[in-house]
Amino acid sequence: MVLTALRSASERLDATGGAAVDQLFVLEATIRAGRAAAPLRQRLSRVQRDSAWRVSESWEPDVPHAVELAQLVCVVAAEGNDIPQEWYTRLTETCAQLARRTSRFNATTDPVILATLIRGLAAIGKAVPPEFIDSAEAMLDEPAPSQGLYELCDALNRHREHRPLAERVAQRAFSAASGTTGDAVARWWLADRWQSISGQPLSVAPEALDTARRQSLAGNPGGDVRAIAMTIEVMGRASEDLVIETTQETAARLSRQERAREAEVIIWRFGVAAAILIGLVVNASRVLSWILGGTPDRALLQATAGVLCAAAGWVILRGFLRLGMLAGRGLGDLERAVDILVPLAVGVLGAFVYR
């Protein structure tokens, strides 16, 4: 079901497209999704090249360019590559300028834009302007918070000093859940990222997360590019936990399990028999005295000890030979000779000991 949902999300993405910053968000999701999303990641590699060119050749210190640069920085960081020093300066300075702007439509009025900028600053290890934090807190009081709160929570969580605020944003987002598939995917996505960043589970009701996962697997996020990207990321990461093997690998695994069970049976059977025989060897004098009703003579004691030692040697030898055959390491033509000589030698040694 996980792989089916991942494939379905990839197909919807091909038909949807999206703005450059959204496609970069999808690219970051495919990187974090792992091997399952590798083909899609390869197809989106041109998006990163085009965005890097625009940042280099047509840069303007405005909201659209800053958001694209912030998301591009997140992509490079997710890949584990070095971020150009020029991008550090541009993003830091532009965020500082945007934070001071008071126009009606700016970087602090939309939670997705704000989240992208804060994530980008986290990727380069820079502090968040206080105005951005004030705007994030103000969004908690909105009567109908948007789905972008999940992204805002993830962004704030990447700055350790703002993790308490991130927890408040998470609680607000979960309390205002709309019940749509896109919202369910966002909840699963946030919980997954929170765990990977902080190493701790998100402080929400486990039942809410279970419901989100079930709804995500069964539902359809529609044409929302960012919801599709989240679907690809969580499904890809979930598929890493799946065990996928060929028919030959399955047969080999089952064969190993069967051999292990048979080896356990051999050890128990031959081990118990050998233990009984060894116990009889050690107490041969007492056993014979009990059977005969008196002290046995030395010749009889030696003969009995020799026979018991030979039997114990044969049992132990057969156990080892059976284990060797299970491992494909039999003695071949030597087995018959060993089967005779080893118990004989052990029997003679036992009789010698009771001399």
Q: How far, in Å, CA of 196 to CA of 14, rounded?
A: 28
Q: What pLDDT shows up at residue 86?
A: 94
With a cut of 60, say whether residue 2 has pLDDT above it: no
Q: Is the distance from CB of 182 to CB of 221 less than 8 angstroms?
A: yes
DSSP 8-state assignment for residue 18: -
- The string of pLDDT tens digits covering residues 32-69 is 988 878 888 888 889 999 999 999 899 999 999 999 99
Q: What is the pTM of this model?
A: 0.66
Cα 49 from Cα 73, distance rounded (Å): 12
Is 150 in the same domain as 228? Answer: yes
* pLDDT tens figures, 70-99: 999 999 999 999 999 999 999 999 999 999
- How high is the mean pLDDT of the chain? 83
Pair (115, 81) in one structural domain: yes
**Could you list the residue range(s) of the whole structural domain that residue 122 is in?**
2-239
**Domain's final residue, options 239, 273, 294:** 239
Distances (CA, A) of 290 to 281, 283, 293, 303, 315: 14, 11, 5, 17, 25
- Report pLDDT digits (tens) over 271-309: 888 888 888 877 877 887 888 877 777 788 778 878 888
**Residue 326, C-beta contacts closer than 8 angstroms, at least 6 positions apart:** 259, 262, 263, 266
Check whether residue 228 and residue 261 sit in a common domain: no
**What is the reported pLDDT for 177?**
65
The crossing angle, in degrees rounded to 10, of helices 181-198 and 148-157 is 0
Q: Are residues 252 and 233 in the same domain?
A: no
Residue 204 has pLDDT above 50, yes or no: yes
Instruction: Please tell me the predicted confidence (pLDDT) of residue 1.
Output: 47
Same domain, 223 and 91: yes
Which of 181, 212, 239 finishes a domain?
239
Residue 177: φ, ψ to 5°: -60, 135
Domain count, the chain: 2
141 and 232 within one domain: yes
Q: Tell me: the pLDDT tens digits for 216-253? A: 877 777 778 888 889 888 888 887 665 445 566 666 76
Question: Going by C-beta distance under 8 Å and a sequence separation of 6 or more, which residues neighbour residue 173?
Answer: 145, 147, 149, 150, 153, 186, 187, 190
* Integer Cα distance of 111 and 131 in angstroms: 13
Residues 234 and 254 in one domain: no
Q: Are residues 199 and 262 in the same domain?
A: no
136: Cβ contacts below 8 Å, ≥ 6 apart = 111, 114, 118, 152, 156, 165, 169
Report how far residue 28's alpha carbon sits from residue 229's, in angstroms, rounded to the nearest whole number.
9
Do 26 and 68 lie in one domain? The reply is yes
Beta-carbon contacts of residue 148 (< 8 Å; ≥ 6 apart)? 110, 111, 112, 114, 115
Helix (H, G, I), strand (E, B) or coil at 260: helix
The reply to whether 52 and 176 lie within a common domain is yes
Nearest alpha-carbon partner for 7 in 39, 31, 29 = 39
Of the listed ranges 6-10, 109-113, 334-338, 343-347, the least confidently predicted one is 6-10
Contact 178, 191 (CB under 8 A): no
pLDDT score, position 15: 43
- How do residues 110-134 score in pLDDT, each as one tens digit? 899 999 999 999 999 999 999 999 9
What pLDDT, on a 0 to 100 scale, did the predictor assign at position 168?
A: 93
Q: Are 174 and 209 in contact (CB under 8 A)?
A: no
- How do residues 182-203 score in pLDDT, each as one tens digit? 888 899 999 999 998 988 888 8
Residues 261 and 223 in one domain: no
DSSP 162: G
Q: Which of 239, 265, 294 is the last residue of a domain?
A: 239
DSSP 333: T
Residue 20: CATH number of its domain = 1.50.10.20
In a shared domain, residues 226 and 262: no
CA distances from 16 to 10, 13, 127 (A): 10, 5, 35
79 is written with which tokens? 């890949």
User: Cβ distance 233 to 17 under 8 Å?
Assistant: no
